[in-house]
Homo-oligomer: A and B are copies of this chain.
Amino acid sequence: MPRRNLSEEEIQRKKRIIMHEAKKLFFEKGFENTSMSEIAKASKMAKGTIYLYFSNKKDLYFSLVYEGLEILEKLIISYIQKEKNALNKILSMGRAYIQFYREYPDYYSFVIKYESEKADLDPEEPKVVSTYEKSEKIYDILKLLILKGLEDGSIRKDIDKDKLAALLWLQTIGIVQQYELRKKLYENWNEFVAESILDFYIDFMKKTLEPRD
């Protein structure tokens, strides 16, 4: 006597519950120190049930990374739309990234952590691949904007466009991550500096990118 399958809706609902609870736990205690039992308990499901929706612990984790990347992507797009010329769009892309870090520290931590653990990444796993691709897609936005900036004259022309894209990308992600780390550690940092360094970075970038006259 076969039962009918759960509706897609229902499946998504359950996944969402699990991810919601897992997100809290992973964020608080890290991947290694969070057990499937805890996640099951927090989700008010049986341990085995989690495995119906996620094939293993890593899969669950990557789902969160992916979701984080989606949020980031949306944020970037919405920030970009508000600006007119390409330079401002690029700067806003940086601001969006900073905003992502500030508003979704949990998702941010997954995205970053995921990237730090390249050694564990198994290129066979589909979740890993799709996460790659999403990340790639965001980078493509930046590359496009740089091209536009060169066209509309809002950024200086004496810089190699590919190198610039790479540099900005690496630089922005890197600086936010380092900021996050240092913030906790160097409490003796000049407070004013700490508070404003990310915004300062955007200004700095602006000065550097805009054409000199």
Contact = CB atoms under 8 A, between A and B. Distances in A.
A56 B23 CA distance: 29
A139 B178 CA distance: 13
A139 B135 CA distance: 32
B175 A171 contact: yes
Give the secondary structure class of A's interface: helix
Interface stretch (A11-19, A62-70, A86-94, A162-170): A162-170
Interface string A134-171: 01100100000000000000000001101100110111
A103 interface: no
A170 B196 contact: no
A74 interface: no
A51 interface: no
**Which among A139, A171, A178 has the highest number of chain B CB atoms within 10 Å?**
A178
Nearest to A197: B166
Contact of A201 (B32, B167, B179, B212): B167
